[in-house]
Structure 1
Amino acid sequence: MELRQLRYVVAVAEEGSFTRAAARVHVAQPAISQQIAQLERELGERLFDRTERKVSLTPAGEAFLPHARAALQSTAAGRDAVTLLRGVLAGRLAVGTVPAPPATLLDQLARFQRHYPQVRLTLRTGDPEKLVEQVIAGNLDTALIGTSGPRLPAGPAGQRLPTTLGAREFGEEPLVVATAPGHPLAANAEVTLADLREEALVTLTPGTGLRAALENACAEAGLAPDIRAETDDLSLLAPLVEHGFGIALMPRSAAWRLGLGLVTLPLRHAALGRALTLVWRRDGVTAQARAFLEMDLE
């Protein structure tokens, strides 16, 4: 059993495809298939069910996967321990983040890279539930997610953050209203939630911090939001607004980066913003993540 075989198993399991796994680890697909087949012969069990449409774990694969991840993480931790003896931090820092991350996170990552130039940064975006799953699985060292207090925004009620995660508030980013230039609200200096009562809205799908913030604010104001279109991709909100599907509440940083050609208006509602929380796994903090988290406290 070789570490590369474990790495290939994890990649195929997470990508759900031998082709995507091969691209991820920069190895030819036949080589991955050959190595996994060799590992399956050694174990005496098939790890994957292979069909033309998808690749899925067998029960044996489900049982094997967490141990493969643990072995890879332990190996990486050992490598980190040796490099720290030399006073040099290297390796990789994998950070998950909400789409269109705030400038504060990017500034902190830039500062981290200046301090530790030999650490390679990997950034991934996703919705809160997926990012939390990736942190728990050890695929991400830490993640910046949108939350409603100590809860994940999975619908109005939400879900509590797992106790296996450490968490720290990362601040709140104001939301702004984005409209097409010819929209009647575009001439206003600012808008209130009451101004949105009769407006068609475009927003993100349930399970995102932005959707939770919108629903919570409208509930407090006694409004029923008229959601005409929803998407799981924050970058699509601006084109939807531009093409007349409706107006959108967007994080200020996203509006500045994605909303070229749109009119952005401040929202006069102090409680409405994108609450951000930094999470990490309590029992598996890598040397790179620890350095990043300690820098956040400076």
Structure 2
Amino acid sequence: MEFKQLKYFVKIAELGNMTRASEALRIAQPALSQQIMNLETELGARLLDRGVYGARLTSSGEVLYGYAKSLLRQHEDVRQAVSEEVTHPTGRAAIGIPGSTGKMLAEPLVRQLLSSGGILIEIVERPSAELVDLVAAGKLDIAITVDAQPRRGARITPLFLEALYAVLPQSGVHGRQTLKLKELADSPLILPSAPSTIRHRVEAALLDKRLKFRLVSEVSATDMLIRLVAANLGWTVLPWSAISDDMQRKTGIAALPIAGHRLDREISLCVSDVLPLSRAAEVVVATTLAILKTLLADGHWMGARVLADGPLANPS
């Protein structure tokens, strides 16, 4: 039994005439008659009484008509539900974002998803290395990662490079537009606690230039680190994403590029290389990339450079 046979049968029953039904269905009458005969053969019952006055339902036909109408209605409901899910997806998706990156991305992401409706987004804040592991284990659908290392079970797609800035009290700028690496080394430093890609980048750059430095404190929380710098207790190094809010609020810190030695970290998209993304997760990925592209194109993410072969690059 096929849905088209039920559709043909219902149309004949409603119009009460084989000829009018064939015209409404745009199917030749012999072919329509053959479909009804096939249906009667399969069910082992006569469904229609055909005569000069048209086609009338038999008692068996009356039974089938009720079920056929219900089945066809459910069939249409399924089609509409699937179509609606494609255009307006629902469901749940989990994305992992490091703390500093989340300051730039989390609010516009949630705002955008709320405006489209239907998707419940869970945002998990963890260090980048943990996020890759969570994606590989299937506990996160997506992650935005920093300097992610290849790992079995995860597919990592580099997006852009993010410059690191020297962050110092506003009172220590003295009209400078940039800082030399030696000036950074000569200042008391408050750096992120190890393991940290920022900490590694800074220490590697200073050692490469054979510059001694004085570490006065290690802090694992970015917000606390910024507060200590604002209190004039030391200098640090952070990406723009970590300090953008504080710069807008003018909390007493300044951010200067490091002249002659650009320190970068790589921002990537991480998804499972085994588990397929749900429709909801696909929408979150597309929305995330669109937001990042806009932030970078508008210059709101200072110090960022889009990778030419990445998904954020403009097509040539």
Residue identity in the other structure for 2:282: R
Q: Could you tell me how far 1:218 is from its partner in structure 2?
A: 2.2
Q: Could you tell me how far 1:130 is from its partner in structure 2?
A: 2.0
Q: In the alignment, what sits opposite 1:175?
A: 164
Q: Deviations over 1:24-45 (max 9, x none)?
A: xxxxxxxxxxxxxxxxxxxxxx
CA distance in 1, matches of 2:202, 2:120: 36
Spell out the pairing of 1:138-157 with structure 2 (5 A cutoff). 138-147=138-147, 152=148
Q: Could you tell me how far 1:114 is from its partner in structure 2?
A: 6.9
The structure-2 alpha-carbon separation of the partners of 1:212 and 1:275, relative to structure 1 and needing over 3 Å to count, comes to farther
CA distance in 2, matches of 1:170, 1:143: 12
Number of matched pairs: 205
SS at match of 1:244: coil
- Contact between 2:96 and 2:123, CA under 8 Å: does it hold in 1? yes
Q: In the alignment, what sits opposite 1:257?
A: 245
- Contact between 2:180 and 2:258, CA under 8 Å: does it hold in 1? yes
Query: Does residue 1:248 correspond to 2:236, yes or no?
Result: yes
CA distance in 2, matches of 1:214, 1:119: 40
- Contact between 1:205 and 1:230, CA under 8 Å: does it hold in 2? yes
The structure-2 alpha-carbon separation of the partners of 1:271 and 1:182, relative to structure 1 and needing over 3 Å to count, comes to closer
- Contact between 2:164 and 2:262, CA under 8 Å: does it hold in 1? no
Residue identity in the other structure for 2:235: I
- Contact between 1:174 and 1:251, CA under 8 Å: does it hold in 2? yes
Residue identity in the other structure for 1:121: I
The structure-2 alpha-carbon separation of the partners of 1:141 and 1:273, relative to structure 1 and needing over 3 Å to count, comes to same
- The alignment's TM-score, normalised by the length of structure 2, stands at 0.56
Query: Does residue 1:273 correspond to 2:264, yes or no?
Result: yes
Q: Could you tell me how far 1:98 is from its partner in structure 2?
A: 1.6
CA distance in 1, matches of 2:82, 2:112: 17
Residue identity in the other structure for 1:247: W
CA distance in 2, matches of 1:136, 1:240: 36
- The structure 2 residue matched to 1:290, chosen from 279, 282, 290, is 282
Q: In the alignment, what sits opposite 1:163?
A: 152
Residue identity in the other structure for 1:279: C
Q: In the alignment, what sits opposite 2:55?
A: none
- The alignment's TM-score, normalised by the length of structure 1, stands at 0.59
Q: Which entry has the higher C-alpha Rg, 1 or 2?
A: 2
Q: In the alignment, what sits opposite 1:134?
A: 134
- Contact between 2:110 and 2:121, CA under 8 Å: does it hold in 1? no
Spell out the pairing of 1:183-194 with structure 2 (5 A cutoff). 183=172, 185-194=173-182
Q: Unmatched 5+ residue regions in structure 1?
A: 1-81, 153-159
Residue identity in the other structure for 1:244: N
Q: Could you tell me how far 1:289 is from its partner in structure 2?
A: 2.6
SS at match of 1:207: coil
Q: Could you tell me how far 1:191 is from its partner in structure 2?
A: 0.3
Spell out the pairing of 1:76-87 with structure 2 (5 A cutoff). 86-87=85-86
Q: Could you tell me how far 1:110 is from its partner in structure 2?
A: 5.9
Q: Could you tell me how far 1:86 is from its partner in structure 2?
A: 4.0
CA distance in 2, matches of 1:111, 1:216: 39
Q: Deviations over 1:179-228 (max 9, x none)?
A: 12333x44422101121122111111122232222223223333344221
Identity %: 19
CA distance in 2, matches of 1:176, 1:170: 20
- Contact between 1:213 and 1:272, CA under 8 Å: does it hold in 2? yes
- Contact between 1:202 and 1:228, CA under 8 Å: does it hold in 2? yes
Q: Could you tell me how far 1:248 is from its partner in structure 2?
A: 0.9
CA distance in 1, matches of 2:179, 2:85: 57
SS at match of 1:163: coil
The structure-2 alpha-carbon separation of the partners of 1:92 and 1:109, relative to structure 1 and needing over 3 Å to count, comes to same
Residue identity in the other structure for 1:161: P
SS at match of 2:266: strand
- Aligned-CA RMSD value: 2.9
Spell out the pairing of 1:57-136 with structure 2 (5 A cutoff). 86-87=85-86, 88-101=88-101, 105=105, 109=109, 113=113, 116-136=116-136
Q: Deviations over 1:113-143 (max 9, x none)?
A: 2785211222222212222232223222111
